């Protein structure tokens, strides 16, 4: 699997605290099936993005990485004026593996009315916007139509693996699954920040997606689409499959009882929770 959102570089933001935790995060990622991990240190009001420092830390992390785990660099780009101007001037200093793809984080305090126009300014510089973890943004959870508008305009969505499996609470889980069911998700990534909580595991979320939507859909979200990003290729059409939930087969006793069973059956076509 290819994970395009992870904070494993030590001491550079609120991710790994030191080299030891960085090494443990890399071990966890490799052991759970990740083969390519992109470092995405924050570029926001709190953390200044210094590509040279990040590259030096990445070189050190590569020496500690398990065999078979590739590491590349990007950033978690907060949508703010200074960043936008810097990205327009030198577009690839912020992107994922120096590709055209930019991982963009929105404020959870305010969604500016001209956010779409700000995306357009980045796109004029040749960048393609990936909106990170919209399911965890309380403002966006209240405005799913805005996300649909952005997706229809060609923007991409990345959902957090642990959100799908419920680690961010029911509201976040339900919205993440709603986005998935409506065919609006292009990538699932870990947004890992540590070796104990928010770890770089994708395997549990992938298992849920496979059981709910099938292996082809999971392959697209965990491998095909994110690999196209780190290789700076166009996403293969369709970017998101026409996701039809796998029909859930009821236990024999419930099928025999039918409507007289003591529990309501799961509707055919609904993903398991």
Looking at the structure, tell me whether residues 136 and 8 fall in a common domain. yes
| Confidence (pLDDT) at 247 | 57
Backbone angles phi, psi at 44, to 5 degrees: -150, -165
Q: Residue 255: is its pLDDT beyond 70?
A: no
Residue 271 lies in domain:
247-273
Looking at the structure, tell me whether residues 210 and 269 fall in a common domain. no
Looking at the structure, tell me whether residues 19 and 41 fall in a common domain. yes
217 Cβ contact partners less than 8 Å away, ≥ 6 residues apart: 209, 210, 241, 243
pLDDT digits (tens, 9 = 90+) for 29-58: 999 999 999 999 999 999 999 999 999 999
Looking at the structure, tell me whether residues 263 and 137 fall in a common domain. no
Looking at the structure, tell me whether residues 264 and 225 fall in a common domain. no
Can you name the residues that pair with 36 across neighbouring β-strands? Answer: 2, 70
Looking at the structure, tell me whether residues 157 and 78 fall in a common domain. yes
Domain count of the fold of the chain: 2
Looking at the structure, tell me whether residues 66 and 11 fall in a common domain. yes
Where does residue 163 rank: exposed (0-12), middle (13-18), buried (19+ CB within 10 A)? buried
Looking at the structure, tell me whether residues 76 and 123 fall in a common domain. yes
């Amino acid at each position: 699997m290819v994970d395009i959102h992870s904070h494993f570089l030590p001491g550079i933001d609120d991710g790994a605290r030191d080299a030891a935790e960085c090494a443990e995060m890399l071990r966890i990622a490799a052991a759970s099936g990740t083969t390519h991990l992109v470092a995405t240190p924050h570029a926001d009001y709190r953390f200044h993005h210094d590509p040279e420092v990040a590259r030096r830390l990445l070189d050190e992390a590569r020496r500690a990485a398990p065999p078979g785990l590739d590491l590349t660099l990007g950033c978690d780009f907060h949508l703010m004026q200074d960043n936008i101007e810097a990205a327009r001037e030198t577009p690839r200093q912020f992107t994922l593996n120096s590709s055209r793809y930019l991982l963009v984080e929105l404020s959870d305090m305010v969604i500016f009315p001209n956010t779409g126009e700000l995306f357009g300014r980045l796109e004029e510089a040749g960048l393609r916007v990936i909106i990170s973890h919209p399911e965890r943004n309380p403002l966006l959870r209240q405005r799913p139509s805005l996300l649909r508008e952005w997706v229809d305009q060609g923007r991409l969505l990345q959902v957090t693996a642990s959100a799908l499996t419920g680690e961010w609470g029911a509201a976040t889980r339900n919205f993440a699954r709603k986005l998935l069911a409506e065919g609006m998700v292009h990538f699932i990534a870990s947004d890992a920040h540590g070796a104990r909580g928010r770890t770089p595991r994708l395997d549990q979320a992938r298992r849920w997606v496979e059981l709910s939507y099938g292996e082809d859909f999971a392959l697209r979200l965990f491998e095909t689409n994110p690999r196209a990003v780190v290789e700076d290729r166009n996403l293969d059409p369709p970017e998101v499959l026409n996701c039809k939930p796998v029909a859930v087969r009821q236990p024999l006793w419930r099928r025999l009882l039918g409507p007289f069973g003591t529990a309501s059956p799961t509707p055919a076509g609904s993903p398991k929770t």
